[in-house]
């Protein structure tokens, strides 16, 4: 993997202003080339503030498609639901047409929820354009992105979506877009905050090799990856 550019920020304001500027630039670029823009949104705690800022942006929401990158296999009203977080921060605040929102349906049986998302993304795929224009990602302290954990079969799935297992986490049953799907993105923005993410930064910068970063390496081999880091 060619080491991606990592930008370090001293202040929260600079970090979030840059993140928003980068996403808006990506959206404008996609809409310049294509009739719509496909945004892939990760769950977790880090991207929440960016989604809230994005909801307040003056955007042609009718031309923007939202694709959920990963989900815990819990009801959508559960406190651990990524969809619940997306609804609170973005989906109910911006005028996004319901047909433009692609999420994991956890009311379905576990395997069926992954299969249904795979079908949706397969239908979305078009020749001559990326499956996803921009990914907004966080990462765990172990370096996983979406719900793509080291050693899990989802890493090598031939499908666009798969079930995944988060060993040692309170909610181990997960649903995730696969490395195959993420590699079909044009660009990705990785948001890293806090001292516990410093090992991920050091590995990305080539200062350490303590983490495998398998999913990130798959992603960076195909898509343009930009990394923002703040303590």
Cα 107 from Cα 11, distance rounded (Å): 41
Cα 208 from Cα 200, distance rounded (Å): 9
**What tokens were used for 161?**
């979506």
Nearest to 199 by CA among 218, 175, 216: 216
CA atoms within 13 A on the CB side of 219: 33
Q: Are 178 and 189 in contact (CB under 8 A)?
A: no
What is this structure's pTM?
0.95
Share of the chain above pLDDT 90, in %: 94
Q: Are 186 and 164 in contact (CB under 8 A)?
A: no
* pLDDT value of residue 82: 96
The string of pLDDT tens digits covering residues 141-161 is: 999 999 999 999 999 999 999
Exposure string of 92-129, with b = 16+ CB inside 10 Å and e = fewer, is: eebebeeebbbbbebeeeeeebbbbbbebbeeeeeeeb
Question: In the sheet that 64-68 helps form, which strands lie side by side, from edge to edge?
Answer: 5-9, 224-230, 185-193, 132-137, 37-41, 64-68, 101-102
Share of the chain above pLDDT 70, in %: 100
- pLDDT of residue 1 exceeding 70, the answer is no
The string of pLDDT tens digits covering residues 3-31 is: 788 999 999 999 999 999 999 999 999 99
- pLDDT of residue 40 exceeding 90, the answer is yes
Residue length of the chain: 231
Nearest to 70 by CA among 140, 158, 142: 140
DSSP state of 166: -
Nearest to 156 by CA among 204, 225, 215, 115: 215
Query: 95 or 44: whose pLDDT is higher?
Result: 95
Average pLDDT score over residue span 121-129? 92
Count helices and strands (H / E) in the chain.
7, 10
The string of pLDDT tens digits covering residues 71-116 is: 999 999 999 999 999 999 999 999 999 999 999 999 999 999 999 9
**What tokens were used for 208?**
């350490």
């Amino acid at each position: 993997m060619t080491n991606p550019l990592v930008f370090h920020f001293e202040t929260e304001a600079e970090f979030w202003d840059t993140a928003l500027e980068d996403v808006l630039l990506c959206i404008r670029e996609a809409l310049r080339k294509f009739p719509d823009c496909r945004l892939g949104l990760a769950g977790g705690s880090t991207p929440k503030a960016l989604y809230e800022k994005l909801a307040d942006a003056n955007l042609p929401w009718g031309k923007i498609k939202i694709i959920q990158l990963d989900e815990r296999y819990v009801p959508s009203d559960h406190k651990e639901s990524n969809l619940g977080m997306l609804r609170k921060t973005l989906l109910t605040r911006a005028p996004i047409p319901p047909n433009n929102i692609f999420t994991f349906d956890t009311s379905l049986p576990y395997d069926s929820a992954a299969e249904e998302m795979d079908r949706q993304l397969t239908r979305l795929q078009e020749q001559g354009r990326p499956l996803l224009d921009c990914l907004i990602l966080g990462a765990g302290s172990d370096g996983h992105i979406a719900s793509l954990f080291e050693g899990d079969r989802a890493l090598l799935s031939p499908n666009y979506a798969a079930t995944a297992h988060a060993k040692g986490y309170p909610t181990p049953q997960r649903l995730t877009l696969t490395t195959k799907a993420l590699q079909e993105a044009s660009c990705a923005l990785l948001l890293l905050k806090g001292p516990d993410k410093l090992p991920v930064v050091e590995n990305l910068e080539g200062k350490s090799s303590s983490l495998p970063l398998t999913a990130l390496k798959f992603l960076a081999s195909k898509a343009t990856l930009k990394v923002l880091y703040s303590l």
